[in-house]
Amino acid sequence: MRKIFLCFLVLLFCANETLHAQPVIKGDMSKITLVIHGGAGTITRENMTPEKEKAYQEALQQALQAGYAVLKKGGTSMDAVEAAIHIMEESPLFNAGKGAVFTNDGKNELDASVMDGKTLKAGAVAGVTVVKSPITLARTIMEASEHVMLAGKGAEQFARERGLEIVDPSYFYTETRFRQLNKAKEEEKVQLDHSGDKGSLDENIFTEGNKFGTVGAVALDAYGNLAAGTSTGGMTNKRWGRIGDAPVIGAGTYANNQTCAVSATGHGEFFIRSVVAYDISALMEYKGISVKQAADEVVMKKLVQRGGEGGVIALDAKGNVAMPFNSEGMYRGYLKADGKPTVLIYK
Ligand code: ASP
């Protein structure tokens, strides 16, 4: 009898040890969701080549998997947003980080922002030229400064002081984007990231068949917290320190656990004037409508009436996803608790 009791004790001890070897996630894993976008615009099947489509699909899949891995381990929605955006900032396919568009004087000036839906804290950066990851700088501004938005040289100094990775401006250079600038200059227009005719993969992968190449992510973690982030190079041939909607909290990015998390892509000036991301949240809050109804109302009605082209990704605290766009296409995708990624490009 004594032996049986001892065996029972040993078994109990072993079971306890095994339990403790696993990370204990105190949350509801069934709700975890990640949604991403890689820009909206005139993205049509006719403008697409199989190589180009494959390249975008792979990059979007990779970004989804990176963010999802964070959520799956019980990481926060903010960590997931940052991880997904890192992949897209490092890919030359998107107008963010490496592969960003050029200003009129041949520079890459980057903007980004993040918002935490639980605390309603936010961080944003505008017009930086040497910070490898603008999204990480935006997050660091939120977490380690008493400010919300820093710009230009001061923001770069802050990044250096916080030990963020600094690169030579040539890191952001891609030949195709530079050609895109020369073309826009010839045509004397400020151009949104992608537009033009179908072309070969090498020649046109970055520029054709799209218009707005900003990247963004929104996530819901196992603890019921939402987060949003957006990162961009802005518009080709932009001048005078032009800043778009991406780093403007309420325009390009917004998150509130009570309503939703939103990241936008499109013609920034229209998105700023329409306070797009906050308007979606406010419609949910004041009218009690769903995230899909609110996002449709703003993107498919208000923006269309005002002539603002683009789209958003939006996610509520129950894991409902909305991805409306009023352009021809939008690079977008999502992953939910089942771990099956969905990546979409066209209407
Ligand atoms: N919204 C960005 C801007 O206006 C452009 C984009 O979405 O690609 O700067």
Domain spans, the chain: 31-334
Q: How far apart are CA 281 and CA 125, in angstroms?
A: 22
Q: Just give the CATH number of 31-334.
A: 3.60.20.30
Residue type, 26: K
| Nearest residue to 246 (alpha-carbon basis) of 220, 272, 280 | 272
pLDDT band at 3 (very low <50, low <70, confident <90, very high): low
Residue type, 186: E
pLDDT band at 320 (very low <50, low <70, confident <90, very high): very high
Any residues with Cβ below 6 Å from ligand 1, and which?
39, 95, 192-193, 212-214, 232, 234-235, 244-246, 265-268
Distance from Cα 253 to the centre of ligand 1, integer Å: 12
Among protein residues, the one whose CA lies closest to atom 4 of ligand 1: 268
- pLDDT confidence of residue 21: 53
- pLDDT confidence of residue 243: 97
- pLDDT confidence of residue 191: 64
Nearby residues of 38 by Cβ (< 8 Å), 6 or more positions away: 56, 59, 60, 63, 88, 93, 94, 213, 215, 331, 332
pLDDT band at 204 (very low <50, low <70, confident <90, very high): very low
pLDDT, one tens digit per residue, over 215-238 is 999 999 999 999 999 999 999 999
Q: 8: buried, middle or exposed (CB in 10 Å: 19+, 13-18, 0-12)?
A: exposed
Question: What phi and psi values does residue 319 have, to the nearest 5 degrees?
Answer: 95, 10
Q: How far apart are CA 97 and CA 237, in angstroms?
A: 17
- Rounded mean pLDDT, 115-144: 98
Residues 142-164 as b/e (b if ≥16 CB within 10 A, e otherwise) read beeeeebbbbeeebbebbeeeeb
| Nearest residue to 115 (alpha-carbon basis) of 218, 268, 40 | 218
Distance from Cα 310 to the centre of ligand 1, integer Å: 9
- pLDDT confidence of residue 185: 87
pLDDT at 194 over 90: no
Return the higher-pLDDT residue of 116 and 184. 116
Alpha helices in the chain (DSSP H): 2-21, 50-72, 77-90, 134-144, 152-161, 175-186, 201-204, 268-273, 276-287, 291-296, 303-306
Among protein residues, the one whose CA lies closest to atom 7 of ligand 1: 265
CB distance 252 to 244 below 8 Å: yes
Distance from Cα 129 to the centre of ligand 1, integer Å: 17
Average pLDDT, the chain: 90
Q: Which range (110-124, 130-144, 191-205, 267-281) has the least confidence?
A: 191-205
Q: Which of the residues are catalytic?
A: 214
pLDDT at 52 over 80: yes
- Rounded mean pLDDT, 152-158: 98
Residue type, 68: Y
Report helix, strand or coil for 155: helix
CB distance 171 to 132 below 8 Å: yes
pLDDT, one tens digit per residue, over 242-260 is 999 999 999 999 999 999 9
The number of the ligand 1 atom at minimal distance from the alpha carbon of 213 is 8
Distance from Cα 298 to the centre of ligand 1, integer Å: 17
- Rounded mean pLDDT, 108-112: 97
- Give the global pTM: 0.89
pLDDT, one tens digit per residue, over 253-309 is 999 999 999 999 999 999 999 999 999 999 999 999 999 999 999 999 999 999 999
Q: Which of 110, 235, 242, 331 has most ligand 1 atoms within 8 Å of CB, for mutation?
A: 235
- pLDDT confidence of residue 188: 72
Q: How far apart are CA 127 and CA 150, in angstroms?
A: 9
pLDDT at 200 over 80: no
Nearby residues of 161 by Cβ (< 8 Å), 6 or more positions away: none
pLDDT, one tens digit per residue, over 6-15 is 545 555 444 4
Beta bridge partners of 316: 260
